[in-house]
Amino acid sequence: MSRIVHYINQFFAGVGGEDSAGTPPTSRPEPVGPGRRLSQLIGPEHEVVATVFCGDDHASSDPAVIAEILEQIRAAEPDLVVAGPAFTSGRYGLACARVAAAATAAGIPVVAAMHPDNPGLDEAGGAPVVESGEVARQMGPSLDRLAAAVRRMLAGEMLTADDGRIGAVPRRSRVADHDAATRAVDLVLTRLGGDRDATEVPLPRFDRVTPAAPATDLSSATVALVTESALVPDDNPDHLESARATKWLRYSLDGRDTLASGDWRSVHGGFSTVWANEDPHRLLPLDVARQLQGEGAIGDLHPAYLVTAGNGTSVGNARRFGIEWAADLRHSEVRAAILTAT
Amino acid sequence: MTPDPGDGLTRLVHRVVEVDVGPQTRFDQGRLTVSVEAASACLADPALAEVRLSWASPGQSARIVKVLDAVEPRTKGPGGGGIFAGFVGPERVGGRGSTHVLRGAAVVAAGYLPRAQEALIEMSGPAAALSPFGATHNLVVEFTPADGAPWEDVDRALRRGVLQLATHLADAAIESPPDAEEHFPAPPPAGAGNGRRRVGAVTNLQTQGTFKDVFVYGRSFSGGLPTLIDPGELDDGAVVSGQFGHPSLKNPTFMHQNHPVVAALRARHGRDLDFAGVCISPEPVVAGHKELVSAHAARLCAAAGWDAAILTKEGGGNADADVALKMDALEDAGVTAVGLFAEMAGPDGTGPPIVVAPERATAMVSTGNYDERLVLPAVERALGGDRVALLDQPATDELALPIAVVYCALSPLGWGHLTCAPEAASETTPVTEAISQ
């Protein structure tokens, strides 16, 4: 018999609505709410041995809470974790997706359920998610689909679009029968034979970003300097990576008019940093920015710059840095930013 | 038909099964003995204060860190007989006659150089099979630069010295009967193929300045235009690497000598296709130059009567653009194109796999995901350095790293067996299990 642990929110656990959204993670040794119906649907050979629930605000506010939820899930020794269905509920979807991603990272099989429009879907990071209805009224058919997915996973099978799988399907490294060069020759012959669709790699779909409208009056605007050139204090105190960066950093420009050679260093691994290190303004034009500030051409210069290393960065991390930079600058009422790229 | 020895190249293969050090460099029935004194003399240069030589062999609990270049020992006659022209031999076109090959051995330079990214070779354990040099007997060259020597001089001295050492080792086998002879005819001219399709290889060389450069007949290929080259010239060391970035996506000299796409095309030549030859192209840093060399390469291949081309790159990120631009330019010129790409889909495999993708020529082969995570067990001995720069850990430690750090693991020239597939559709064994079997 397989052991299933079900994750739901405070509302479906019957604890309460918005007034109870701060409920901390709690575990019950039985199916609760939609878990009762799910339990019937998956049949007597599997058992929902525990339900872990958490308030929506609490679960979506802090990644540490997800670790706490995962601990409670682990304590019930699951063969499979089920999260949701979360429908289009944003915070609930986010929590389900993060629980699914955390379980996957911990090596615990998991399946979540939510509507394809749920903003939390991207956070699942490739963990299996199946489609649910938009609203709780569609609980019945949503649980039917989820139960079918649960049975498939417990049978050791992977979920596909036929099971209602949504979200990103991870691409995994595999060992092929032949080396890549031999496969390339095979692919050439296939292509010459008239098959125009054969490929091992699907064409990627990239976001199209619409640039913001130009800032109209810079003389009253606060302007920020941001860069992916990996320019950091000379001792690289926060250990910014030279490639495949996982973080970005903020350093103060307060009281500085120039960046002296020797005090600053680019740790970027993708280009020769010799000339940049001779004159760090080649990467971060603080000298010119101060001059413009003095002339009144810009209202103010943001007192810190934001930096990461743009070298082999995964798109996921790059997107996260962008979102966090925008939020950070907005919070500081910065109206325009100069991004120096290398 | 007996091949005309004047046409093409014959490899005289000597298999190295055992290695040792001794008073004299010699090769006898598979046993390669190296004289440390004679080998060190190959590396004598004012820019190098000291060199240290040691063997690292398959199965040993050993790891090589800070790997720079790897070279297969080869010679065409005493003193090299013209091998590695422009470095060891005079600047003369090679690729004909016969070449002695010490198969199963490599000379590996390891140590710090500016701009070099941390690169590892495991001699045992789960990641040994990910690098071609986990299966070769490696004569590792470690070095101490001379006081005050410019890094550019250290780089030059090391490159020339390693090539001379590779020649010195192969010279020891000249009198031995080869274990095998491999003959490769020169590519036939257009129209000679009895209707078979003419397929060639377009090989991009990462030419981005000192420490990220590739040399052709001894000269930097930076600033050059694409050119056709006889595949036998690659065998004879016309292309030499001085490129130390992106370890898993790097093409060391060894891989040019043993170009996997060339090998795959030679294997099918005269049966499924006619091998039309090799076009080498620089990988410049400026977008306009990438467009120029791409259009130029496509025109060359079309003029040479190619029906199809297999494109390869070196390095990550911007190097994808060089392959994508050439693939589209070739398709526009009526030449079918297939490109080899490593994927950069993030640790969870959900990101876009390629940085710049072709638009019209969409046939791509995957050499695996750059961000795949590995755990390498602790080892008894490390060569090349005491610490792993990337993690600031002792080099003998257990290491948790992306596959991007394993030397040639995602070989853009197509050496490896890795690929990527959507999780649900795959029926083969996951890489982390398969490589440890």
Tokens of B434: 């398969």
Q: What is the pLDDT of residue B392?
A: 82
Nearest CA in chain A to B401: A244
The whole-number pLDDT of residue B435 equals: 60
Strands A336-340 and B387-388 come out as unpaired
Instruction: Provide the edge-to-edge strand list for the sheet that holds B121-122.
Output: B121-122, B62-64, B381-383
Q: What is the pLDDT of residue A78?
A: 97
The beta-carbon neighbor of A179 closest among B414, B426, B435 is B414
What pLDDT is stored for residue B434 in this prediction? 60
Q: What is the pLDDT of residue B426?
A: 40
B334 shares contact with chain A (CB less than 8 Å) = no
Distance (Å) from the alpha carbon of A66 to chain B's nearest alpha carbon: 18
Could you say which DSSP state residue A211 is in? P
Kindly report the average pLDDT of chain B as a whole number. 93
Q: What is the pLDDT of residue B284?
A: 94
pTM listed for this prediction: 0.83
Query: CB A17: neighbour CB atoms within 10 A?
Result: 9
Q: Which of B325 and A326 is assigned the larger pLDDT?
A: B325
Express each pLDDT in B242-254 by its tens digit: 999 999 999 999 9
Q: How many CB pairs under 8 A join A and B?
A: 219
| Residue pLDDT, tens place only, B188-238 | 888 776 789 999 999 999 998 889 999 999 999 999 999 999 999 999 999
Q: How far apart are CA B8 and CA B275, in angstroms?
A: 13
Report in angstroms the alpha-carbon separations of B240 from A154, B159, B252, B286: 53, 9, 8, 23
Q: Would you say how long chain B is, in residues?
A: 437
Asked if A100 and A88 touch (Cβ cutoff 8 Å), the reply is: no
Which chain A positions have a beta carbon within 8 Å of B261's beta carbon? 181, 184-185
pLDDT at B3: 43
Residue B2: the pLDDT is 43
Residue B6 has pLDDT above 70, yes or no: no
Contact B419 A173 (CB under 8 A): yes
How sure is the predictor about B431, in pLDDT bands with cuts at 50, 70 and 90? low
C-alpha to C-alpha distance for B418 and B350, rounded to whole angstroms: 17
User: Above 80 in pLDDT, residue B437?
Assistant: no
The confidence score (pLDDT) of residue B424 equals 59
Quick check: A180 and B430 CB within 8 A?
Answer: no
pLDDT of residue B427: 41
B400 has a chain A CB within 8 A of its CB: no
- Strand blocks (E) in A99-140: 110-114, 129-131
B286 close contact with A: CB closer than 8 A = no
Q: Quick one: angle between helices A90-105 and A63-75, nearest 10? A: 60
**pLDDT value at position A169?**
83
B261 interfacial to chain A (CB closer than 8 Å): yes
Q: Exposure of A28 by Cβ count < 10 A (0-12 exposed, 13-18 middle, 19+ buried)?
A: middle
Question: How would you write the pLDDT of chain A (342 residues) with one tens digit per residue?
Answer: 899 999 999 999 999 998 999 999 999 999 999 999 999 999 999 999 999 999 999 998 777 899 999 999 999 999 999 999 999 998 999 999 999 999 998 989 999 999 998 888 988 988 999 999 999 999 999 999 999 999 999 998 889 889 999 988 888 888 999 999 999 999 999 999 999 999 999 887 776 778 888 888 999 999 999 999 999 999 999 999 988 888 999 999 999 999 999 999 999 987 878 889 999 999 999 999 999 999 999 999 999 999 999 987 877 778 778 878 988 898 899 999 999 988
Q: Which of B197, B273, B348, B403 to mutate to test the interface with A (most CBs of A within 10 A)?
A: B348
At A90-115, the pLDDT tens digits run 899 999 999 999 999 898 999 999 99
| Residues A171/B345, Cβ–Cβ less than 8 Å | yes
Helices assigned H by DSSP within B179-222:
none
- Nearest CB to B350: which of A126, A165, A196? A126
pLDDT at A244: 82
At A139-174, the pLDDT tens digits run: 999 999 999 999 999 998 889 889 999 988 888 888
Predicted confidence at residue B432, as pLDDT, reads 54
Residue B428: band (very low, low, confident or very high) from pLDDT cuts 50, 70, 90: very low
A176 to chain B: nearest residue by CA? Answer: B417
Residues 239-258 of B with CB under 8 A from A: 245-246
Model confidence at B316, pLDDT cuts 50, 70, 90, reads confident
- What are the pLDDT digits (tens) for B11-53? 999 999 999 999 999 999 999 999 999 999 999 999 999 999 9
H-helix or E-strand containing A83? strand A80-83
Distance CA B249, CA B313 (A): 8
Cis-peptide, bond into residue A285, ω within 30° of zero: no
Residue B338 has its nearest CB partner, among A176, A184, A315, at: A184
For residues B358-385, one letter each, b for 16 or more C-beta atoms within 10 angstroms of the residue's C-beta and e for the rest, the string is: beebbbbbbbbbbbbebebeebeebbbb
For the record, the structure tokens of B339 come out as 């490109």
